[in-house]
Copies of this chain bind each other. A is one copy, B any other.
């Protein structure tokens, strides 16, 4: 489902293979749930999520679709970017426009910022709309989430009186925290975030699944794609496990002095998926003074800008290209005006074919210049494949982090700013 092409990486097979015994050992540790047993809830979750839980998500989703023009999803960090990335990747490029006349609720995200103007503008958008709310926080006390919920709760109470509760869905720890308390006290519907799954590993749990379902995505297919990916990554052998191979290649490039990994996509609708990928790798690996800095670029526009620094700047980066190889290209170039004579050979070609030529030219230009390129090829963007891609990266980052010598499941650095902030509240 996901093909890893190593030809342009500049990495020697022998350098990869010396990692095999370490990789096998870490793999056994992961499947044995030994060292990291408190953090591996995501490992088999697509296989073990219960039919009852899926049905509950689907029921809530149907309810929301039936009685809402808008779903507000309140969350930040891992409780925000996952579902947004999948929805924007799978639903159209012009999601909000194409949906204008449709019955499917528009989904707006809140709580991922504390911008006054953002909140104000959202409240304007909500005027005269039927609204439901999904508030997501594992701890149940994330500050941005609590503040956003406080604003929206007031809005909902004004609009719906006491029955506002029927339009709220809480996704939080199954056992504790203020949001769980609130759900119990008020009888608000809720979904569980399993205890052993951290925020950035949670997109394939109810955290991400409810909003996906509301947007019209078939979440069973997303989970199926992830499950299939679990089988495909069963072996610890680097020749058979592309997620581990990707992790090893990143480690080799890091040790060779690379400081930046640039995720390259050619699809504008992968903008938020790139952000999801960035936060997954940054938060999992960026600790103890270590870690590649993960960032992203959108080709072809960035070939006209960032392209300069990639080609010709410091030799401190490599590219990971996520190439979607859609085969069902439909937009043909007909009748190029004669003033554009130099392009006349492109007449009759599809846009997708030309995109592939740009991709190939770029790989050639960059790799000939010594910029390592790792290529991940996927046939198309659909529900199964996005589930597979997510799971692929979850497995890759956990292997990669452990190879780097850090704990890929904690985030001690995030806590420091939170502590500083709490001091100011007193």
Inter-chain contact B150/A337, CB cutoff 8 Å: yes
Inter-chain contact A279/B303, CB cutoff 8 Å: no
- With A and B bound together, what is the CA distance between A113 and B352 in angstroms? 11
A25 at interface by CB-CB < 8 Å: no
Chain B: which residue is nearest A296 at the CB level? B295
- With A and B bound together, what is the CA distance between A357 and B114 in angstroms? 10
A421 partner, pick from B259, B286, B357, beta carbons under 8 A: B357
Inter-chain contact A114/B300, CB cutoff 8 Å: yes
A269 at interface by CB-CB < 8 Å: yes
A29 at interface by CB-CB < 8 Å: no
A201 at interface by CB-CB < 8 Å: no
A14 at interface by CB-CB < 8 Å: no
Chain B: which residue is nearest A311 at the CB level? B413
A5 at interface by CB-CB < 8 Å: no
Chain A contacts with B in 54-107, Cβ cutoff 8 A: 76-78, 80-81, 92-94, 96-98, 100, 106
Chain A contacts with B in 287-302, Cβ cutoff 8 A: 287-291, 293, 295, 298-302
Most buried by B among A121, A339, A355, A358: A339
A154 partner, pick from B144, B283, B334, B358, beta carbons under 8 A: B334
Q: How far apart are A71's CB and chain B's nearest CB, in angstroms?
A: 14
- With A and B bound together, what is the CA distance between A413 and B370 in angstroms? 13
Q: For chain A, which range describes its interface: under 10, 10 to 19, 20 to 34, or 35 or more residues?
A: 35 or more
Q: Which residues of B contact A280 (CB under 8 A)?
A: 305
A228 at interface by CB-CB < 8 Å: no
Q: Which residues of B contact A305 (CB under 8 A)?
A: 77-78, 81, 200, 278-280, 282-283, 414
A335 at interface by CB-CB < 8 Å: yes
Q: Which residues of B contact A422 (CB under 8 A)?
A: 342
Q: How far apart are A273's CB and chain B's nearest CB, in angstroms?
A: 14
Inter-chain contact B340/A313, CB cutoff 8 Å: no
Inter-chain contact B286/A365, CB cutoff 8 Å: no
Chain A contacts with B in 35-62, Cβ cutoff 8 A: none
Q: How far apart are A10's CB and chain B's nearest CB, in angstroms?
A: 17
A17 at interface by CB-CB < 8 Å: no
Q: Which residues of B contact A352 (CB under 8 A)?
A: 114, 116
Q: How far apart are A302's CB and chain B's nearest CB, in angstroms?
A: 7
Q: How far apart are A281's CB and chain B's nearest CB, in angstroms?
A: 9
Q: What does the 1/0 interface line of A113-144 toward B look like (CB < 8 Å)? A: 11111111111110000000000000001111
Inter-chain contact B304/A77, CB cutoff 8 Å: yes
- With A and B bound together, what is the CA distance between A315 and B361 in angstroms? 34
Most buried by B among A93, A298, A336, A419: A93
Q: Which residues of B contact A303 (CB under 8 A)?
A: 77, 414, 417
Inter-chain contact A125/B326, CB cutoff 8 Å: no
- With A and B bound together, what is the CA distance between A163 and B95 in angstroms? 31
- With A and B bound together, what is the CA distance between A351 and B146 in angstroms? 12
Q: Which residues of B contact A355 (CB under 8 A)?
A: 114-116
Instruction: Taking A116-B331, A305-B414 as given, write out 18 further A-B residue pairs in contact, using a Cβ cutoff of 8 Å, ordered by the A residue number.
Output: A93-B122, A94-B121, A94-B122, A94-B124, A112-B301, A113-B268, A117-B267, A118-B268, A120-B330, A147-B343, A150-B334, A182-B339, A282-B305, A285-B313, A286-B310, A303-B414, A357-B421, A369-B416
Q: 27 A-B pairs, CB-CB below 8 angstroms?
A: A77-B301, A92-B124, A93-B122, A94-B125, A114-B358, A115-B268, A118-B268, A119-B331, A141-B340, A143-B343, A147-B333, A153-B337, A178-B341, A199-B304, A259-B314, A259-B316, A286-B313, A287-B309, A293-B317, A295-B295, A307-B414, A312-B412, A357-B425, A365-B416, A365-B420, A366-B417, A369-B416
A residues in contact (CB < 8 Å) with B: 76-78, 80-81, 92-94, 96-98, 100, 106, 108, 112-125, 141-144, 146-147, 150-151, 153-154, 178-179, 181-182, 185, 199-200, 259-260, 266-269, 278-280, 282-283, 285-291, 293, 295, 298-317, 326, 329-331, 333-337, 339-343, 345-346, 350-352, 354-355, 357-358, 360-362, 364-366, 369, 381, 411-414, 416-417, 419-426
